[in-house]
């Protein structure tokens, strides 16, 4: 590693929020139904602390029952004993756990209008910066994960606004690339400059704003995610914070995603879910869900802390049995 991470002095911050971009029919499956999509971020956060969700009856899943990647992060947090802080950056529904708020608005639907007011983005970034500064005083590395349905679409728009031809990953094996591209192309017409704050305000989402803010204040970070973190990394590359990205092999193997746009080192964590006895977990290896809630980054950290792949799979299955199957 070119950056020296000390994962014995690390904290995992999960930045959660919503964008109304998720209301576009067919753009995301990060929820069992349209109504449930908005509950996915708070429910993911609750799952990490409690091993169950408090705001909804079951755990977040796709309409056909593929479980949230929060499961994998839950196992990694349990094994590594890394502390967790949940950050509300634009949630529609607040989680029933302690959480830090950055006083962010919910993001608007970028297919229709600008995502957020510039002054709100500036406020969120300032709040994130303060938090990043304070946390950097006690830990070497801040591991940052996200949960925001339709976040790959806003991330794609950010990359496009920065001048890239983005490929973005998806929670579906048949990524609705055409729909996303149409939304992205319309949205970027509203971008007036390549200034990060302008881009986030025009086509981003509150979670991107919050993570950008935290990176403004902190010294060293591991961005735990796929396409969304590639977008954040490109916005944040001049901030002075050292960072790398860590994601799952499922994103890395996704032909519709393009991690090569990352301006930093990218670590890819193998997670042998293909070998699982449970179809819900094998689905990841078949292209469903793929990443989110810092699953790839926290898996990478678990391996760095000496956990072996086979052992990790067993522990994920143990939690799957407890949390999903209730046995």
Which residues of this chain interact with its own copies, rule CB under 8 A? 9, 11, 49, 81-85, 94, 96-103, 123, 127-128, 130-131, 134-135, 137-139
Residue 16 bridge partners (DSSP): 88, 147
CB of 101 to its own copies, least distance (A): 6
Nearer of residues 105 and 287 to its own copies, judged by Cβ: 105
Nearer of residues 100 and 106 to its own copies, judged by Cβ: 100
Residue 107 bridge partners (DSSP): 19
Nearer of residues 23 and 133 to its own copies, judged by Cβ: 133
Nearer of residues 56 and 130 to its own copies, judged by Cβ: 130
CB 168 within 8 A of CB 155: yes
How far is Cα 299 from Cα 312, in angstroms, rounded to an integer? 8
CB of 236 to its own copies, least distance (A): 18
CB of 132 to its own copies, least distance (A): 9
Give pairs for 259-264: CB < 8 Å, separation 24+. 259/226, 259/227, 259/230, 261/159, 261/164, 261/166, 261/230, 261/234, 262/229, 262/230, 262/233, 262/234, 263/233, 263/234, 263/237, 264/223, 264/233, 264/237
How far is Cα 29 from Cα 43, in angstroms, rounded to an integer? 15
How far is Cα 302 from Cα 296, in angstroms, rounded to an integer? 10
CB of 241 to its own copies, least distance (A): 17
In the chain, what is the greatest distance between 2 CA atoms, to the nearest angstrom? 54
CB of 87 to its own copies, least distance (A): 8
Nearer of residues 77 and 172 to its own copies, judged by Cβ: 77
Nearer of residues 31 and 213 to its own copies, judged by Cβ: 213
Q: What angle do CA 278, 246, 97 make, to 5 degrees?
A: 70
CB of 38 to its own copies, least distance (A): 18
Nearer of residues 124 and 168 to its own copies, judged by Cβ: 124
Give every strand in the sheet of 141-147, ordered side by side.
84-88, 10-16, 141-147, 220-224, 242-248, 266-269
Q: Which of 319, 312, 224, 305 is nearest to 272 (CA)?
A: 312
Q: Which residues contact 308 (CB under 8 A, 6 or more apart)?
A: none
Nearer of residues 54 and 162 to its own copies, judged by Cβ: 54
Q: Would you tell me how many other CB atoms lie within 10 Å of the CB of residue 188? A: 19
CB of 131 to its own copies, least distance (A): 4
Pairing of strands 10-16, 141-147: parallel
């Amino acid at each position: 590693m070119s950056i020296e991470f000390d994962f014995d002095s690390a904290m995992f911050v999960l930045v959660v929020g919503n964008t109304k971009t998720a209301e576009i029919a067919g753009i995301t499956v990060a929820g069992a139904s349209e109504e449930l999509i908005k509950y996915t971020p708070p429910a993911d956060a609750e799952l990490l602390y409690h091993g169950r969700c408090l705001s909804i009856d079951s755990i977040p899943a796709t309409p056909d029952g593929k479980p949230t990647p929060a499961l994998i992060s839950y196992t990694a947090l349990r094994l590594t004993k890394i502390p967790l802080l949940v950050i509300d950056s634009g949630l529609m529904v607040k989680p029933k756990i302690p959480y830090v708020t950055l006083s962010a608005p919910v993001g608007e639907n970028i297919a229709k209008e600008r995502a957020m007011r510039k002054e709100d983005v500036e406020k969120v970034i300032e709040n994130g910066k303060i938090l990043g500064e304070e946390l950097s005083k006690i830990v070497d590395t801040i591991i940052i994960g996200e949960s925001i349905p339709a976040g790959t679409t806003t991330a794609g728009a950010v990359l496009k606004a920065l001048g890239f031809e983005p490929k973005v990953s998806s929670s579906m094996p048949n990524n609705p690339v055409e729909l996303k591209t149409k939304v992205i192309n319309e949205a970027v017409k509203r971008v007036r400059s390549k200034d990060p704050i302008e881009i986030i305000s025009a086509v981003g989402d509150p979670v991107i704003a919050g993570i950008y803010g935290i990176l403004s204040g902190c010294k060293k970070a591991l961005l735990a995610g796929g396409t969304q973190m590639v977008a954040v990394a490109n916005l944040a590359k001049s901030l002075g914070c050292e960072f790398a990205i860590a994601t799952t092999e499922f994103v890395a193997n996704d032909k519709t995603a393009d991690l090569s746009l990352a301006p930093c080192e990218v670590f890819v964590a193998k997670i042998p879910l293909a070998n699982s006895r449970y179809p819900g977990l094998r689905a990841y290896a078949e292209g469903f869900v793929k990443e989110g809630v810092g699953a790839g980054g926290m898996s990478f950290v678990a391996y760095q802390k000496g956990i072996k792949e086979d052992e990790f799979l067993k522990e994920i299955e143990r939690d799957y049995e407890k949390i999903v199957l209730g046995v």
